[in-house]
Amino acid sequence: MPFFDQIAPFLQVLRIEDGLADNTCAAYHSDIVAFLQVVGEAETVAADDMRAYARYLTQGGYKSASIQRKMAAIKRFCRYLFMQGRLSEDISLDIEVRATPRPLPVGIFESVIKELLAQPNGEDRYQQRDHAMLCFMYGTGLRVSELCSLKLSQLGLGESWVRLVGKGNKERLVPIPDAVGKILKSYIQTARPKIRLADRADWVFLSRGGHAMSRQSVFQLVRKYALRMGVSGMHPHQLRHAFATHLLNRDAQVRDVQACLGHARLSTTQKYLSVSTAHLRRMYDKSHPLS
C-alpha cells in the first residue's frame, strides 16, 4: 500500500520531537491506516481525496469532534510526506480543519463527591482499596491512566507528594492532602498486603489478581458506587473535573491548578473557571431578590 511504509517513521518523529504519548500515537496510527485503506492503491494523495474522506466520515455517522481529530492526524501525515519528498505539494494547506468548541466539564457539588467517597465503607481489603483510590483521585486530580500505572516508588515524603508522569512523558509533583495521605497510608500498610501477589508488585492500587488496575475496572467501580447514591453516568474523569473546579471555587490560583493537572496550556485549565462562574450564575439567579 502506498505511503504505508512512512507511518512508522512519522510516528517516531511524533514521539521523539513532539513528545506525544503512546496512546496519542496509537490514535494517529489508526486514523492514518483507515484513510490509506480508503484511498486504496493510488500513487499519490490529493486534497480532493482528503475532502472526500471527510464526507465519507460524515456519512458514516462520526461525530464532528471525531472527524476533526481524524482529519488533523491525516493533515499532519500529509505534511510529513511532503517534507520527505513523497508528495509534490503540501496538500494539508488546502484543507481547513475547524476547531470544534469543547463542552464545558460538568460541575459536581462538593457534597456529592463527599457522599461518593464515603460509599466504600467496608473493612475488607477491596473496600479499603476502593476508598483510598477514590479519595486519591479526587485529592490529586490525576488522570485514570496515571492512577492505573501509579507505583509505590512514585510516592514520597510520607505519602505527602506524588510524582506523576503525564501526557508526553512530562513529570510533575502533586501534593497529597493530609487526610488523603492518612487514608492512603492505612491502605498500603493494612489492606494492600492482603491482596494477592502484593509482595511482588509495585503498583499502588492492585486488582484482585495482584495486577495493576485497568481503566475499565476503575470506570466500573466509580459507576457502581455512584449508582449506590442513585447517580447514573458518573465516570472517573469527573473526579478530576471536581478537583479543579472545587480548588478554583476556593480561590486557588489558576497557574497552581494547571501545574497539578499537568496541562500544557493555561487555556485548558481556564475552562474550569467557566464552570465556577456558571455555578455562581445559577446560584445568583436562584437566590437573589432581584432575579
Nearest residue to 198 (alpha-carbon basis) of 128, 137, 143: 128
d(CA 47, CA 91): 5
Set of cell numbers at residue 178 = 493530609
263 is catalytic: yes
| 246 catalytic per annotation | no
Catalytic status, residue 126: no
Q: Answer yes or no: 185 catalytic.
A: no
Secondary structure class of 6 (helix, strand, coil): helix
Calculate the CA 218 to chain-centre distance.
13
Q: Comparing C-alpha atoms, which of 213, 236, 221, 216 is closest to residue 149?
A: 213
Spot the catalytic one: 70, 76, 125, 240.
240
Active site residue 131: no
Name the residue type at position 131.
H
- The Cα angle at residue 223 between residues 217 and 225, in degrees rounded to 5: 105
Q: Say how many C-beta atoms besides its own lie within 10 A of residue 266's C-beta.
A: 11
- For the chain, strand residue ranges (E) read 155-156, 161-165, 171-175
Grid coordinates belonging to 228: 449506590
Segments in 40-124 forming alpha helices (H): 47-59, 64-83, 110-117
| Cα torsion 172, 208, 218, 187: sign | negative
Residue 185: HSE in the Cβ half-sphere, 13 Å Cα cutoff: 13
Q: Which of 15, 69, 79, 167 is catalytic?
A: 167
Residue 56 appears among annotated catalytic residues: no
| Cell numbers linked to 36 | 490509506
Q: Which entry of 86, 237, 271, 279 is annotated as an active-site residue?
A: 237
Nearest-angstrom CA–CA distance, 93 and 79: 8
Show which residues are catalytic: 143, 167, 237, 240, 263, 272
